[in-house]
Every structure is written in C-alpha cells, then in structure tokens.
C-alpha cells in the first residue's frame, strides 16, 4: 500500500489458511509492524512473537533474530515496534496474557486460558490447517525454490519459524530488496476443482453428523446405544444435495452442440462461493495477464458483466495436484553426452580440444560428422559436449510461477531436422518481456503455436488476422451453432476439428482393433481381437437416436462404417449431430459474394438463396419435452383420461383411450397432449343440480379441465411418449400418482429473422430469402448462395473472413480440404498460389468442355441425344485420357478435373509436377515456395495470353504481376489471383460494373431462431395489482408501451390513439370488457374510462394521509375502493359477455363463495407476475415481435 502523505510503499501481507484464523500483517508509516489475528483487533507483531516464545520472548533476542533483514538505519522496524509496545512486555507469560486480553476482552485472563487459546488458534490441526497447497506455497515463498523437498517443513499447521520468515520477508520488501506479489498472477491463483468443492461440502455434512451423534450420546442410556440409534445420515445427504442442487458452480450443462458441451466442461470461473462478486470485480482481475499464456484462453470469455471473470482452459493446459494451471514445453538442451549416436549431425557451440594432447577436435560452428563424433566419444565417459541449442522431444509441464524463472522460445522458431535452432538469435520471452536473444540461452520451447488459445478459438482459421473483439464473438458464437440436418465439415479448417469432436464425447469410438460384424441405424456390432484365426468377443454399441439435448437441439448418432470393415482402436465408427466423418461440423460451406444488393444487406443483414431452404442446407430438428403430473388433491385424485368436459370429439381425435396423444400425431398451439381432469370444490347445490345428482348419482360431480396443452407458438410431431406410474417407478415425488412426458420434434427450415454467423464474429440476421433466379450469378451460371455486406469488414477488422473466402474458393475448385492452424496458417503467397491453380483448373475444364462438343461433332455424334456438358465431356475424356481410370472419371468429379488439368498443362508444355501441389504430395514443405511461384507465373502468363498480351520468357513474376494489374485495370477484368469474379444481376442478366469478391465461407445458423422470439397477443392474462397485461412471450404478454413511445404519439398529436393505448388497451378494466363486447356485437366503441393504475395511485396517495379526490367533467366526485364496490366490472377472462347480461358482480359475495370452495383469490384466476409500477404499461393488442 502507498502512504498518501509521503508516497512511500508500505508492505502488507496476508496468511490465509485453508481452514482457521487469518493473519493480516501491516506496516504503518511510523515503521510499526502490526498483525490482525482472525480479523479482530490490531496488535504489535512483537506481542505475537513473544507470546509464541520466539527468541525466549526478550527484546534483545528479537533484535538479534532480525538483525540480518532489519538493517536499514533509516527504518528500524523491529526496534520501533518494541518501543511502541504498551504496556511493555518483559516475559512470555506477560505477552500471552496481554494477547489474550486483546483477542477476548470479555473473558477472565488466566495463563492456562491464554495458552490453550493460542495453541488452538494457530497450532492445532483440527482448528488450523494450511492445507497441502498452503504449505507448498509458503515453503516456495519463504524458503526459495532451490531448497530440497526433504529439507522443507511438511506440517500443515503454522510453525514459529514460518512467522519469523514472513516478518523477515515483509521487512525485506519494505527495504526494497524484494518486490511485492502480483495478486493476478496465475502463480498466486489456483483452481478449486470439483473434487475439492465436494470434499468441503462433505466435511460440513460430517461435522453436522458428528454434532448430532454427540448430542444423542449425552442423552441416551449407554446400554441402549448402537450405531443405528446414534447415526443419522440426513445431514450428509442434505449437504450433498445442497451442493449439486444449489451451488452457483453446479450448472445445467450447455448442449447446443458438441463444442458447447466441451467448452462448458473446460470453463474456469472466478465467481461462486469463496470467489469474487461481479459487482466488486475491477479491471485488473478481468484483464489478460502474461501468466495466462498457454493456461487460460485470452480470447474466449463472455461479453457481458462476466467478461474476464469466466474463462476457458487453453488447448494444452492441465491442472496439477495443487490446483495450479500448467502448460507444456519442449525441453531445450545445449550440451550432449559424448556418445557417438547422440552427437552425429549436431553443430559445435565452441571449440573442443582433446584433454590429453590439447589438439582441437572440432572448431566452433562446425558440424560434428561421424569421424569427429568418434573422436569425441573417446573423451572421458560422461563428458558434456557444448552444441548449438536444440529442442528435444521431451515435454515438461510448468506452472506459472515456475515458468517465470526460465527463458522460453516461440513454437514457430526455425528448427532443422535434429531440432537445432537454425537462427543464432531467436524471439524469446522472460516473465512479461518479449525480446530477441541468443538461442544458446533458451531453456524451453512452446509445443505449438495454438497453445495460447482455447478450443473454440483454435477452431477459427486465420484467427491471427482478426481483431480480438471479433475473435471473441466468433469463438462464443460457434458454441451457439444449431446442429443441422446434414452436417458438413468446413472446407477451411484448422486441424482441431477431429480432436474437438472426439473429446466432446458425442462420437462413438472403437475401443480396440476389430471388425464390424453388423450395422443398423440403432446399433453397431464390433468383434474385437484377431480378425483371422480364433474370433474375439463381440461388443454392441447402441446409438442415441433423436435424443433431446438440454437446449432442445437434437442429438442423433449415425453409423459411418460398413459391415466387414476393419477398424483400429480410436477410429470413429458413428457420427453425432454436428460432426461429419469424425470432424466437428457446426455449419455449411456456402458460396458467398461480398456486395450490396438492393439494400437487402443494410446493417449486417444477410441475403440467402432459396436453394439453402429447398435443399435443407440449414434445416435443424428441435425437440421439446412437455410433462404433466396427476396428483392426489384434498378434493380427490386427479385423473388422466380421455373424458374431458366441454371438449369436442375433433379435439380428442389423436388421444388414445387413456387420454394420451399417439406417437406420430401432428400438433399445433393449444392442442391437448394429455387429457386430465381435476375435482372442483363442492358448493351449495342448486335445486337443478340436486335433481341431476338424484338421477345420475356421483357421476355428475363437477370436475375442471386441467389438460396439458401445447403452449402458444409451438408446433411439431409427437416422437416419444413416456408414462410413469407409482407401481412401476417408486422415485415419483410425494403425492404424484402418474407422470406423463411427451416429446415433440419440429423441423425448422432457415427463414427471415434467423441469426447466422461465420467463424470470425461476422454475424447478421437474414433479411430476405431470394429466389435462386434473382441471385447474382457467376460467368458459368452458378448463382451465389449468400450475399454479405462488404461494409461489415473494414470497421470490424476481421480480415480472416476474406482470407477464408479466397482459400475456400480455391480449395473448393481444386477439391481438397484445407488445414490452416491458428498462428501457423496459410500466408498470402500460398493463398494466391492456390487461387492461381484454381483459375488454371477452371480454365482447363472450360476449354476441354468446348473441345468435347467440337470433337463429338467431328466424330459424327448426334448432339441432340446428349443432355448436357457433363455427358459430352465424359465421352471426350474417356477417349483423350487413355491412362486414367474410366470408372473414376465418371464417378469422381475431383479426380476427373485434376486429370484434365495435368493433361492440359502438358499440352501447353508445362511440367504439372512443378506447378501442382495436392494434399497427398510427398515432397518436403521447403519445396513448396518454388511450386507456388511456378503456379502463379504460369497462371499470369496464360491469363495475359488469353487477353491478347504476349509475354516474354524472361519476364519475372513481379513484372508479370504489374502487367496483369495494368491489363486488368484497362479491361475492367479481375486478375486471376485476386479472388474477385465478374457477376451478373440475376434479374436483368446485366454484368455488374465492378468485380466482386466471391468465395466459400463456413456459415452457421445460431440458436437465436425467429420462431422462438416472434409473438403476438390479442387479449390474455393481466397483472393483479395494476390490471395491465403481463410482459414477455412466456407469460403471453403484451408489448410494452413505454415512456418514449408515449412521447412519440404526443409528438404527432395522436391524442385518441394515445388515450386508447393508456386505457382500453391497457388497464381500464370496464372499458376493455365493453370494447371487446362492442367489437363482437359490431356496435360503437364507448369512451374510455379510468385506468386501474390511476385508482392504485389515488389509493397510495390516500394511504399517505393526503385527501386526494377526483371529480368527473360534471363535477361529480368519483368513488374508489370500497365505496364503489357494487359498480365495478370484473376482469372476465377473455372479456366476452352473453347478450343482455349485465356486467355487475357483488365482489364480497363472490369472494366469500370462492374462498369457501378453496380457490385462489385473484383477478380472473391469473397469476400475479409482479408487474408493478405505473410507468410500465403494456398494450393488449399491440401485435409484433417482443
């Protein structure tokens, strides 16, 4: 802490045990050291030291003990503290008594009490426990990291030596020898794992149990005691229930998709019991710290008030036994033992001489070959030979405080085949500084460039080109992607897709090597063991079919293996929702154009082609569960039945004889799913009812319809019905005789209002589904699938989406999938080379197609017999490509295109092997640059020739590119490697003026679906106090007509509309009933009356003792409350009255009757949702989106 007057830094320290009294040490500006024990009164530190017998409790002894640390003549902390003791303490006993008086001022101070108090406070295992972690951290802090474990104290209680060391350390920090601790450093923050949290709750439960046992033992007769009589396990069960049911950290698992499930399990929270509160957490706690590197993802965190408080474990991080997060590093060595095999190929770091003869064996920076290695092997055994630093395959996990002592190089440092650093100076980091240093000083190397980020962020290609804010949105929105009907893995991935799917636990994996013996939609059978000879055991994997996830999405596993197929251990044999061939697949690869289109993509809106709807590219299945219980009530048991009063046969058509809906039935809002009747309260019978009773007996007893109906705004097909009865299922809650669960599935196609997003935080709402024929189309007639607004890119600075667009286009044309890992992905040169190859393959394909028709004409074929280009091309290719496999030419589109490209390049006198580079290429990555350059050169040359510009053979790549850009500008044609295309308007067929960026992007449909949000109401439930409509879709509420909306109508002078909004459409109870009646009967609508909230206001003012009176225009005093009792009109449900019926009710009588029947008293029987406050009006009929 800083002293405000002098600006001097004063050290304070806290010693927080796992269990027991806290010790808080402070330094005052007058150089006095004090301590607070267990948050009680402040005492001088010397009093505590003397009380526990340090240095025999003498002043001299204490001064000598701290002489080494407290040696600053300007600030003598121990001497000053001793001088300020009041009263002066001479002996240990005196110090004990004084300490006891300060801590327990009301109790009589005796020596025994004081000794016992101090012993139990700090030195008894039962009352004070540092914990394993506390002792570990204390030892590291006080005794240094170099001390051997067997020399360090292991007791989990406090020792006098520990206190002495703590005070020494405080003095050294005050004197500027050591720096203060950083509270946000991960060396000082630990993870409390589930086991520890449960253990703490279990301990509380056992302590309660112990107390009960002690109480019973003191009361019971010893002869009648037995464990059964003494022990009651309820406190332990209650403690466990409390943890799993009520703890802030016991959460309902998020299961929107497999990634959501995986990241939720890897979540770290600073909130919860013993943690921070979001209102109190400042910026420092939330900020990214240098110690998060490789431990906590710096990107993935919520956007709201929890930002920075909730994080995710980084990709390679793990938690050690003490709860500290560790991250792995490759060990770097710069010496090798003189063994011949180990030395071969290494570079000597310095000159090495023969110890006997003094001759130089190898010079500095020379490569050690076999001959030199042989000579070095003859040196004394175990001699360490200094070589250039090299990264070993050995991995070591480091915690944050340990890492701070080492020099670490980045994962992308250039290494040779032996792991030696190619560059003598490399980029390194030490604590929070990043600098360039000699490679010989490096001690560790990062294991991977993606170890800094978490799983979600590692799934974003070109993450390094996105602004951090958008990357955060991108990684969070991937978790909201809805599983689609036909999952499709991304064309541009990062290589993490398979691992993420595997670790989510939703795919089915073979446990051993074996052979598939049977495959159906519901199960897969695998025979393990030897596939030849004696057969092993058979294992059956039952697949999950159309299960509902916690977020109502659909979990459905489907086999991806065939009968007779051999599988290895760890092979994925069944996909789940959102996985494709064992890779996580959250969206679809679609052709995207970045352009404006009739204002349809204003403000990030998205235009999609009708093809996306027609081909179910973004259709998803959602399953909702509805349940109803039949209970025993005071008036008799409820009954699940088909015999429901006042319901027509057409409504019951899909119910079975028990009144439960059949599987397969199509249902809509308000449809009965399960029929249920509840006994009504008995009242005094009218003569007519008595007659009916006499004729029909008990059968005419009144029951009310309490059936389970489908809520408004929902629809679907019944896919599952489960019935639980008390006879078969004993775990039903008390008072429940029968429980019925109905699952309803619905297929949702993508539509206007649904939210979509890419992986780079590029989100938007669909504004229009455009007919395929109206979408802009490419020169070959291909219409684009989605149109995004180009203005969404520059300000957001998420350039990753543009790189993904270009690379996705090239990969799609060339027929391969891209793996572009985070921080180690494709660079600009590689992308332009792939675009060049994509242009070449398209050019070859188009030329061959045109040539095919000419060839067929020359061969005398009847061209009218051919359907399309594909047939014509195939006939020609089977004649032209004689070396190619005929079946693959017909069935494998990618194979055919690649064969055409290779043959076409040979025709043009180019070597395809030097230009092309496909996924199965076995050349070294170092050869890649030459191949990429060759591809670009050939592409530029052919493009220029196609535009009628000859190119000299000596022209370099850069000169060619300049020429290409010049020609493209003149002709308004996009260069072949720019990723831009010429598009035509779908409506007019005219070419757009400017070339447009077109490519393939991975787009996802997010869980914010318009069908869950759109809502309209005519009439419905009202709040009891204000009589205004409730709010929100769940309550079937109206739209809030707030203060600003009132201003809007006032500004337009729309007085009558405004009056209607504030009265009959809101809380004028009489007026709204009369208005409804008038509309139904086709009569004139009457003048609005007094709103209910005004009556509430008047009553509240009167209750304050103000004589508030209200007069109508005629000067008559208006009555409110009890006085007007006979004249009020009640809220009559939907507000319908029978013809000629007067809406007058005696409230007192009707309330008495309802009370006698045991009904809930309330306006129209609706629940009061607590919509209080007169400013909060809701209008009944304001239809629209909530």
Rounded CA-CA distance 344/324 in Å is 40
Which residue in the block uniquely carries the two structure tokens 């269990």?
Answer: 19
What DSSP state is assigned to residue 1160?
P
pLDDT at 1182: 43
> Quick one: pLDDT band at residue 7, thresholds 50, 70, 90?
confident
DSSP E strand stretches across 672-728: 672-674, 676-679, 703-705, 708-709, 716-725
- HEC per residue, 475-517: HHHHCCECCCCCCECCCEECCCHHHHHHHHCCCEECCCCEEEE
**C-alpha to C-alpha distance for 567 and 550, rounded to whole angstroms:** 32
Distance between CA 1086 and CA 923 in Å, rounded?
A: 88
Q: For the residues 739-757, what does the mean pLDDT come to?
A: 97
Q: How many CA atoms lie within 13 A of 1018 on its CB side?
A: 8
pLDDT of residue 529: 80
| Mean pLDDT, rounded, of the chain | 90
The strand pair at 755-757 and 763-770 is best described as antiparallel
CA 533 → CA 529, 530, 536, 540, 565, distances in Å?
A: 10, 7, 9, 21, 17
Q: pLDDT-derived band of residue 1144, with 50, 70 and 90 as boundaries?
A: very low
Please report where in the chains the tokens 């180009």 appear, as a residue: 790
* pLDDT level of residue 1102 (50, 70, 90 thresholds): very high
**Is residue 1173 scored above 60 in pLDDT?**
no
φ, ψ (nearest 5 deg) of residue 523: -155, 155
| Segment among 879-888, 899-908, 1175-1184 with least mean pLDDT | 1175-1184
Burial of 700 (0-12, 13-18, 19+ CB in 10 A): middle
pLDDT of residue 838: 97
What mean pLDDT is predicted for residues 349-356?
Answer: 86
* pLDDT for residue 1137 is more than 50: no
Domains of the chain: 13-174 (3.90.1110.10), 194-245 (no CATH), 321-447 (2.30.150.10), 620-748 (2.40.50.150), 786-1005 (no CATH), 1016-1185 (3.90.1800.10)
Q: How many residues are there in the chain? A: 1186
Print the SS3 string covering 1077-1135: HHHHHCCCCCCCCCCHHHHHHHHHHHHCCCCCCCECCCCCECCCHHHHHHHCCCCCCCC
Q: How many helices (H) and strands (E) does the chain have?
A: 34, 49
Instruction: Give pLDDT, residue 689.
Output: 75
Which residues does 495 contact at the CB level (< 8 Å), separation at least 6? Answer: 819, 821
**pLDDT digits over 53-88, tens only?**
988 888 899 999 999 898 989 999 999 999 988 888
Buried/exposed 368-407: b ≥16 CB within 10 Å, e otherwise = beeebbebbbebeeeeebbbbbbbeeeeeebbbbebeebb
Band of residue 290 on the pLDDT scale cut at 50, 70, 90: very high
| CA distances in angstroms from 1035 to 700, 811, 1055, 1076, listed in the order given | 34, 50, 30, 21
Rounded-to-integer distance, Cα 186 and Cα 432, Å:
13
Count of C-beta atoms within a 10 Å radius of residue 1126: 11
pLDDT at 149: 81
Strands annotated E in 247-324: 267-269, 310-312, 318-319
132-146, 386-400, 654-668, 815-829: the lowest-pLDDT one: 132-146
Tell me how crowded residue 88 is: count the other CB atoms within 10 A of its CB: 9
User: What percent of the chain shows pLDDT beyond 90?
Assistant: 75
Mean of pLDDT values over 693-714: 81
- Candidates 778, 772, 773, 776; CA nearest to 974 is 778
Cis peptide before 1170 (omega within 30 of 0): no
> Confidence band (pLDDT; 50, 70, 90) for 126?
confident
Q: What is the mean pLDDT of residues 662-689?
A: 87
What's the whole-number mean pLDDT along residues 949-965? 91
Q: Which residue has the higher pLDDT, 728 or 800?
A: 800
Q: What percent of the chain has pLDDT over 70?
A: 93
The DSSP string of 822-866 is TTS---HHHHHHHHHHHHHHHHHHHHHHHHHHHHHHHTT--GGG-
pLDDT digits (tens, 9 = 90+) for 1146-1158: 444 444 454 444 4
Cα 218 from chain centroid? 53
176 versus 1131: the higher-pLDDT residue is 176
Q: Distance between CA atoms of 25 and 1142, rounded to whole angstroms? A: 80
Q: How far is CA 195 from CA 199, 200, 275, 401, in A?
A: 6, 9, 17, 24
Q: Bigger pLDDT: 47 or 1137? A: 47
The pLDDT assigned to 89 comes to 87
Report which of residues 698 and 708 the model is more confident about.
708
Instruction: Using alpha carbons, select from 626, 655, 638, 660 the residue that is nearest to residue 705.
Output: 638
Query: Range with the lowest mean pLDDT among 441-445, 707-711, 1179-1183?
Result: 1179-1183
Largest Cα span, the chain: 131
pLDDT of amino acid 86: 81
Region label for 1134, one of left (φ > 0), alpha (ψ between -120 and 50) or beta (otherwise): alpha
Lowest mean pLDDT among 125-134, 365-374, 921-930, 942-951: 921-930
Judge whether residue 1177 has pLDDT over 60: no
User: Residue 849, Cα to own-chain centre: how many angstroms?
Assistant: 49
Between 257-261, 379-383, 1002-1006, the lowest mean confidence (pLDDT) is in 379-383
Give the CA-trace dihedral at 979, 931, 946, 900, to 10 degrees: -100
pLDDT at 305: 94
Q: How confident is the model at residue 1045 (pLDDT cuts 50, 70, 90)?
A: very high
């Amino acid at each position: 802490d800083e002293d405000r007057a002098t600006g001097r830094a004063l050290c304070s320290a806290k010693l927080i045990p796992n269990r027991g009294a806290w010790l808080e040490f402070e330094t005052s500006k007058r150089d006095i050291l004090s301590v607070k024990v267990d948050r009680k009164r402040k005492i001088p530190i010397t009093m505590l030291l003397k009380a526990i017998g340090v240095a025999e409790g003498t002043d001299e002894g204490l001064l000598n003990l701290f002489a080494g640390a407290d040696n600053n003549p300007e600030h003598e902390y121990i001497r000053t503290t001793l001088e300020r003791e009041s009263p002066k303490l001479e002996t240990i006993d005196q110090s004990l008594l004084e300490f006891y008086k300060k801590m327990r001022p009301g109790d009589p101070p005796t020596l025994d009490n004081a000794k016992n108090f101090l012993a139990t406070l700090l030195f008894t295992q039962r009352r004070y426990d540092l914990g394993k972690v506390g002792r570990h951290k204390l030892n590291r802090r006080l005794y240094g990291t170099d001390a051997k474990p067997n020399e360090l104290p292991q007791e989990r209680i406090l020792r006098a030596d520990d206190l002495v060391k703590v005070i020494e350390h405080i003095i050294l920090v005050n004197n500027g020898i050591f720096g203060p601790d950083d509270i946000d450093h991960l060396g000082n923050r630990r993870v409390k794992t589930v086991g520890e949290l449960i253990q703490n709750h279990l301990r509380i439960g056992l302590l309660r149990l112990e107390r009960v046992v002690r109480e019973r033992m003191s009361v019971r007769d010893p002869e009648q005691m037995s464990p059964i009589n003494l022990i009651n396990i309820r406190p332990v069960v209650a403690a466990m229930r409390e943890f799993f049911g009520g703890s802030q950290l016991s959460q309902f698992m998020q299961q929107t998709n497999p990634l959501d499930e995986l990241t939720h399990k890897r979540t770290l929270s600073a909130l919860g019991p013993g943690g921070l509160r979001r209102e109190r957490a400042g910026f420092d706690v939330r900020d990214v710290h240098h110690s998060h590197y490789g431990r906590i993802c710096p990107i993935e965190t919520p956007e709201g008030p929890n930002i920075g408080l909730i994080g995710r474990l980084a990709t390679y991080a793990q938690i050690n036994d003490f709860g500290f997060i560790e991250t792995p590093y490759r060990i770097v060595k710069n010496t090798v033992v003189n063994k011949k095999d180990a030395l071969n190929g290494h570079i000597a770091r310095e000159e090495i001489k023969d110890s006997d003869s003094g001759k130089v064996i190898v010079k500095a920076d020379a490569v050690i070959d076999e001959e030199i290695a042989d000579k070095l092997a003859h040196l004394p055994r175990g001699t360490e030979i200094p070589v250039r630093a090299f990264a070993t395959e050995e991995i070591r996990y480091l915690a944050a405080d340990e890492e701070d002592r080492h020099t670490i190089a980045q994962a992308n440092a250039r290494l040779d085949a032996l792991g030696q650093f190619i560059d003598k100076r490399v980029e390194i980091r030490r604590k929070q500084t990043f600098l360039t240093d000699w490679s010989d000083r490096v001690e560790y190397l990062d294991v991977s460039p993606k170890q800094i980020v978490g799983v979600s962020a590692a799934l974003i290609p070109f993450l390094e080109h996105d602004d951090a804010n958008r990357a955060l949105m991108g990684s969070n929105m991937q978790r909201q992607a809805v599983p689609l009907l036909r999952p499709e893995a991304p064309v541009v991935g990062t290589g993490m897709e398979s691992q993420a799917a595997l670790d989510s636990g939703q795919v089915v994996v073979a446990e051993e090597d074996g052979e598939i013996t049977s495959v159906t939609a519901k199960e897969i059978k695998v025979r393990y063991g030897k596939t030849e000879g004696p057969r092993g055991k058979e294992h059956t994997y039952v697949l999950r079919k159309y299960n509902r996830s916690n977020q109502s999405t659909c979990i459905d596993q489907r086999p991806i293996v065939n009968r007779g197929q051999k599988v290895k251990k760890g092979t994925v044999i069944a996909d789940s929702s959102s996985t494709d061939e064992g890779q996580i697949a959250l969206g679809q690869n679609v052709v995207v154009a970045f352009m404006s289109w009739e204002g349809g993509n204003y403000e990030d809106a998205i235009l999609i082609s009708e093809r996306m709807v027609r081909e179910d590219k973004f259709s998803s299945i959602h399953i909702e569960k509805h349940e109803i219980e039949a209970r025993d009530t005071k008036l008799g048991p409820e009954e699940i039945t088909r015999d429901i009063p006042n319901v027509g046969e057409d409504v019951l058509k899909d119910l079975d004889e028990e009144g439960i809906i059949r599987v397969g039935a199509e249902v809509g809002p308000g449809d009965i799913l399960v029929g249920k009747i509840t006994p009504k309260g008995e009242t005094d019978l009218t003569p007519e009812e008595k007659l009916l009773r006499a004729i029909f007996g008990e059968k005419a007893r009144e029951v009310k319809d309490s059936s389970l109906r489908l809520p408004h705004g929902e629809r679907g097909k019944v896919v599952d019905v489960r019935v639980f009865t008390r006879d078969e299922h004993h775990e039903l809650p008390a008072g429940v005789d029968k429980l019925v669960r109905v699952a309803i599935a619905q297929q949702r196609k993508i539509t206007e209002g649904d939210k979509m997003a890419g992986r780079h935080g590029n989100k938007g709402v669909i504004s229009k589904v455009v007919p395929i024929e109206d979408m802009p189309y490419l020169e070959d007639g291909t219409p684009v699938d989605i149109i995004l607004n180009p203005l969404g890119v520059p300000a957001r600075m998420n350039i990753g989406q543009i790189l993904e667009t270009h690379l996705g286009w090239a990969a799609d044309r060339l027929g391969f999938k891209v793996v572009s890992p985070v921080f180690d992905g494709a660079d600009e040169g590689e992308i332009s080379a792939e675009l060049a190859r994509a242009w070449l393959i398209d050019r070859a394909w188009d030329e061959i197609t045109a040539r095919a028709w000419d060839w067929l004409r020359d061969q005398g074929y009847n061209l009218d017999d051919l359907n399309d280009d594909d047939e014509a091309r195939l006939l020609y290719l089977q004649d032209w490509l004689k070396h190619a496999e005929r079946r693959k030419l017909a069935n494998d589109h990618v194979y055919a295109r690649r064969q055409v490209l290779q043959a076409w390049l040979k025709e043009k006198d180019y070597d395809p092997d030097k230009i092309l580079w496909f996924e199965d290429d076995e050349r070294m990555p170092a050869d890649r640059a030459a191949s990429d350059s060759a591809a670009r050169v050939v592409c530029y040359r052919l493009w220029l020739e196609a535009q009628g510009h000859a190119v000299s053979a000596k022209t370099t790549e850069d000169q060619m590119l300049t020429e290409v850009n010049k020609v493209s500008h003149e002709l308004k044609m996009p260069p072949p490697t720019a990723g831009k295309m010429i598009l035509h308007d779908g409506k007019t067929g005219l070419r757009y003026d400017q070339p447009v960026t077109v490519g393939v992007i991975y787009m996802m449909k997010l869980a914010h679906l318009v069908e869950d949000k759109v809502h309209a109401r005519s009439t419905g439930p009202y709040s009891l106090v204000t009589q205004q409509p409730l709010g929100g879709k769940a309550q079937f509420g109206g739209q809030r007509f707030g203060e600003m909306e009132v201003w809007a109508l006032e500004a337009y002078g729309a007085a009558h509309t405004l009056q209607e909004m504030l009265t009959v459409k809101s809380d004028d109870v009489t007026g709204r009933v009369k208005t409804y009646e008038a509309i139904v009967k086709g009569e004139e609508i009457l003048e609005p009356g007094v709103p209910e909230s005004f009556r509430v206001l008047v009553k509240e003012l009167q209750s304050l003792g103000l004589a508030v009176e209200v007069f109508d225009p005629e000067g008559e005093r208006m009555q409110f409350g009890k006085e007007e009792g006979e004249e009020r009109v009640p809220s009559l449900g939907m507000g319908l009255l029978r013809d000629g019926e007067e809406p007058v009710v005696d409230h007192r009588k009707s309330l008495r009757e309802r009370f006698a029947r045991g009904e809930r008293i309330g306006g129209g029987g609706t629940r009061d949702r607590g919509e209080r406050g007169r400013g909060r009006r809701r209008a009944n009929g304001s239809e629209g989106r909530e």
